[in-house]
A = this chain, B = another copy of it.
Amino acid sequence: MTLALDLASDVVALTRALVDVPSESGAEAPLADAVEAALRALPHLTVHRIGNSVVARTELGRPQRAVLAGHLDTVPAAGNLPSALRDDRVHGLGACDMKGGVAVALRLAAGVPAPTRDLTYVFYECEEVEGDRNGLHRIAAHRPDLLEDADLAILMEPSDAGIEAGCQGVLTADIVVRGERAHTARSWKGVNAAHVAAPVLQRLHDHTPERVVIDGLEYREGLSAVAVRAGVAGNVVPDECVITVNSRFAPSRSAEEAEAYIRNLFPEYEVQVTEVVPGALPGLARLGGLVAALGATPRPKLGWTDVARFAALGTPALNYGPGDPTLAHTAGEYVPVDHLRTCEEHLRRWLSP
């Protein structure tokens, strides 16, 4: 039996109802069913189901179309279910990341039947796991027509109810330092890869990341070793030391430029790039009206978010949603009630005549 969601209820009650339907990545079906059923009950929307993602569109022939998107999945529970309302905050798994934002979007889908621009609501699966399972990625791959006609997108990831523009790119690479094995009782017969790796770590330590200003926003880059691995056995000089680095690069750089940057920084080492995903330019010139309507000063988004997927489709996008992004994935995550109301009100105003 599909759970009934009451989209006409208060945004706080709706957020709690969403939190109380567990939807860890890969297990979104019950929540997707409930969302789909609630949207299909609204005659002004055309609803599509792709896997456990749901797309609902108005088809009013407006000159502009906007996407409002949020993911349905959460990280695994951490003793933070069911939801609770305390101190004007909704607590519970996914309250911040990002069922609060989903609740706001669902409220608008139900409560603004004739928006001033056409809307494409996207509620998608598997944002918290590897990219090829990502629901937004799968919609773009299998039903691009549902997304391609949008002029702008709002991703309702937590942003403290402020505007976080664009996002930085991410590159992950292994720097492989090689040596030669030997018994530690005759260590001089080998070459200790861990010892030889010292300059790699020192170079990372000495490296000063750049700060790139785009549309008046400062994207501060970062380059971090996130793992170091060496070791064969307790009496063996290791012949390999692998340093995994994570680079966060400004959205003005392409994937190729980000990769070249790392390779140029470590020209004498073997560099294996395992992932590189470009960011998203803030595109504020194309989002001016929206920014003015939301009444917040844009900040640069330093982490990577799915706004980059919209950027890849040629759609300018920004992050705007309730909740403190630093609480995402913490057992104590919550979303403030005033964030929920602020986001709903500002977006409703933007969409209303």
* B residues in contact with A243, CB < 8 Å: 194
Q: A187-B222, A198-B201 are in contact. Are A244 and B237 (CB under 8 A)?
A: no
* A contact face: mostly helix, strand, loop, or mixed: mixed
Question: Are B226 and A237 touching (Cβ within 8 A)?
Answer: yes
Question: Are B302 and A185 touching (Cβ within 8 A)?
Answer: yes
CA distance A184 to B247 in the complex (A): 8
Determine whether A227 belongs to the interface, using a CB cutoff of 8 Å to chain B. yes
Copies of the polypeptide in the assembly: 2
Set B168, B186, B204, B230: member contacting A227, Cβ < 8 A: B230
Determine whether A342 belongs to the interface, using a CB cutoff of 8 Å to chain B. no
* B residues in contact with A302, CB < 8 Å: 185-186
Nearest residue (CB) in B for A172 is: B234
User: What is the total number of residues of chain A having a CB less than 8 Å from a CB of chain B?
Assistant: 48
Nearest residue (CB) in B for A248 is: B185
Nearest residue (CB) in B for A226 is: B234
Per-position binary interface string of chain A over residues 32-74, scored 1 when its CB falls under 8 Å from any chain B CB and 0 otherwise: 0000000000000000000000000000000000000000000
Determine whether A143 belongs to the interface, using a CB cutoff of 8 Å to chain B. no
The smallest C-beta distance from A276 to any residue of chain B, in angstroms, reads: 13
* B residues in contact with A196, CB < 8 Å: 205
Determine whether A229 belongs to the interface, using a CB cutoff of 8 Å to chain B. yes
* B residues in contact with A228, CB < 8 Å: 194, 197, 228-231, 241
Question: Are A168 and B185 touching (Cβ within 8 A)?
Answer: yes
* B residues in contact with A192, CB < 8 Å: 204-205, 224-225
CA distance A231 to B194 in the complex (A): 15
Q: Which 4 A-B pairs have the closest CB atoms?
A: A227-B231, A198-B201, A187-B222, A195-B205
Listed A/B pairs (21) with beta-carbon separation below 8 Å: A184-B224, A185-B222, A185-B302, A185-B303, A187-B209, A187-B222, A192-B205, A192-B225, A194-B226, A195-B201, A196-B205, A198-B201, A224-B237, A225-B238, A226-B231, A226-B234, A226-B235, A226-B236, A226-B237, A231-B244, A234-B244
